[in-house]
């Protein structure tokens, strides 16, 4: 921890807030953990960053459906084929995708899968 001495109180608070906020990156609880187990705040939360502010929104509750329609099953099979195709590539072929993906801020795996899905 950085110790700051000889700085005005207001400036010190601003600097401490920045230091503490940056050291606690990714540490945040939501739902039952954050609001207590008995609260009516259980549910699914979405965190949005708008104009420099962090906004937590509680999403409406819903029961996800798992309908096995023909279209869904066909799409899942295409995705399964894409993963199998990536696993069948040689390390040299994977390196080509990894190098191409650097420019798009992807991993080589994600680039291969997305190209496969768009082509099928």
Residue 74 to residue 89: CA distance in whole angstroms: 23
Q: Which helix (H) or strand (E) holds 28?
A: none
Quote the pLDDT of residue 61: 77
Cα distances (angstroms) measured from residue 53 to each of 19, 49, 68, 70: 18, 6, 40, 43
pLDDT tier at 66, thresholds 50, 70, 90: confident
Quote the pLDDT of residue 41: 60
Query: 22 with 15: CB under 8 angstroms?
Result: no
Residue 103 to residue 6: CA distance in whole angstroms: 46
Residue 117 has pLDDT above 60, yes or no: yes
């Amino acid at each position: 921890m950085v110790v700051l001495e000889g700085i005005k109180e207001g400036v010190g608070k601003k600097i401490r807030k920045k230091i503490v906020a940056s050291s606690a990156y990714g540490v945040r609880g939501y739902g039952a953990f954050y609001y207590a187990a008995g609260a009516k705040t259980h549910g699914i939360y979405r965190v949005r960053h708008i104009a420099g502010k962090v906004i937590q929104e509680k999403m409406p509750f819903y029961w996800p459906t798992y309908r096995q329609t023909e279209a869904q099953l066909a799409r899942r099979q295409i995705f399964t084929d894409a993963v199998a195709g990536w696993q069948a590539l040689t390390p040299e072929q994977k390196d080509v995708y990894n190098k191409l993906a650097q420019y798009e801020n992807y991993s080589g795996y994600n680039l291969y899968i997305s190209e496969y899905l768009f082509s099928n």
